[in-house]
Amino acid sequence: MKVASVRSDDGPAISVHVTIYNSMKYLRQCLESILAQTFEDFEIVCVDDGSSDGSAEYIEDLAKSDQRIKLIRHDRNMGVGCARNTALLNSSGVYIICVDSDDLAKPDMLERSWAASNFGYFDIVSFGFVAFYEDGGVHSIFSPEENAQELNIENRSNLGKVMFWNKLIRRSLFLDNGIRFPDRLIYDDLSSMMRLRNVATRVKEISDVLYCYRYERKGSLINSVNGKSITDYADVYKLLMDWFKDRNEGHIPEDIFTHLDYDMQFISGKILNSTMGADEIREHLKQLLLMKIAFLENWQQISDLHPDDLLEALRTGRRLRAA
């Protein structure tokens, strides 16, 4: 049964974002799962980030027979953060929801999340998901407890899981507060969800398992272990701390530091379970620890330094001085 929206304004209730980079292997199944939704009032905004495998051409053909599909093409690969921003700025829905191009949506994902929003009342609706392997086996199922909150300064930063793709999010939270995804950083979910939670006033969690996440896909950025996966954490937490400091009169929510501890455990686990040798694992763990210690002890001082002082410290190793 198809379920229509009861809204009266011009745009659709939901804009579904699909960002794509050489994901033709999974793209057909992904888009078929969205087009099979039991809810009718949505558009699909696809952003091809410079693919060379025919992904964009496939979507172009599909869009000819379905006006709900919109394709925007980057002329070169600009990273998932830029692709998400392009989708955001080319959407017209009241809400956005992201389906990564290698993942799947349950048929009632849009219907259930739209109804859970009380048809436009809640700013963010989070729902459950199943993580599955390439062979179709189930790794885990996450089903949150039912919960609805009116947010205030005390509970605004307590987010829980920070994935972007298991949430229905009011689009105006981005637009009205100047929130965008960072360029070329791996952890764009983390950088966006903490800020969005901070500007939301009503959030809700439902126990429905509505999203299918492809777990540990070969080549996935989030599962890679390299120098960038370490330094990007510092960049993301720097972004968050500066943002909260500017908005909250210098106050940094404790939840940020809790998440930093969790993320260090996450990436150290990836390092330990990698195919690297013992010496290489040791070096990566040392770099991770050095990054965390240096970041926590110096980020405030470094934030206010003039570029000349930063260059002097880099070139000479001299102690940092106040700007």
pLDDT digits (tens, 9 = 90+) for 64-120: 999 999 999 999 999 899 999 999 999 999 999 999 999 999 999 999 999 999 999
| Pair 121, 105 in one domain | yes
**Largest Cα–Cα distance of the chain, in whole Å?**
69
Last residue of a domain, one of 186, 217, 248: 217
| 188 domain residue, yes or no | yes
pLDDT in tens, 209-251: 999 999 876 545 445 566 666 677 778 888 888 888 787 766 6
| Pair 150, 49 in one domain | yes
| Pair 194, 311 in one domain | no
Residue 17 has pLDDT above 80, yes or no: yes
What pLDDT score does 323 carry? 41
Tell me the pTM.
Answer: 0.81
| 4 domain residue, yes or no | no
| Pair 71, 160 in one domain | yes
Range of the domain at 60: 14-217
| Pair 135, 23 in one domain | yes
Number of domains in the chain: 2
* 3-state helix/strand/coil string of the chain: CCECCCCCCCCCCEEEEEEECCCHHHHHHHHHHHHCCCECCEEEEEEEECCCCCHHHHHHHHHCCCCCEEEEEECCCCCHHHHHHHHHHCCCCCEEEECCCCCEECCCHHHHHHHHCCCCCCCEEEEEEEEECCCCCEEEEECCCCEEEECCCCCCCCCCCCCCCCEEEEHHHHHHHCCCCCCCCCCHHHHHHHHHHHHCCEEEEEEEEEEEEECCCCCCHHHCCCHHHHHHHHHHHHHHHHHHHHHCCCCCCHHHHHHHHHHHHHHHHHHHCCCCCHHHHHHHHHHHHHHHHHHHHHHHHHHCCCHHHHHHHHHHCCCCCCC
| 8 domain residue, yes or no | no
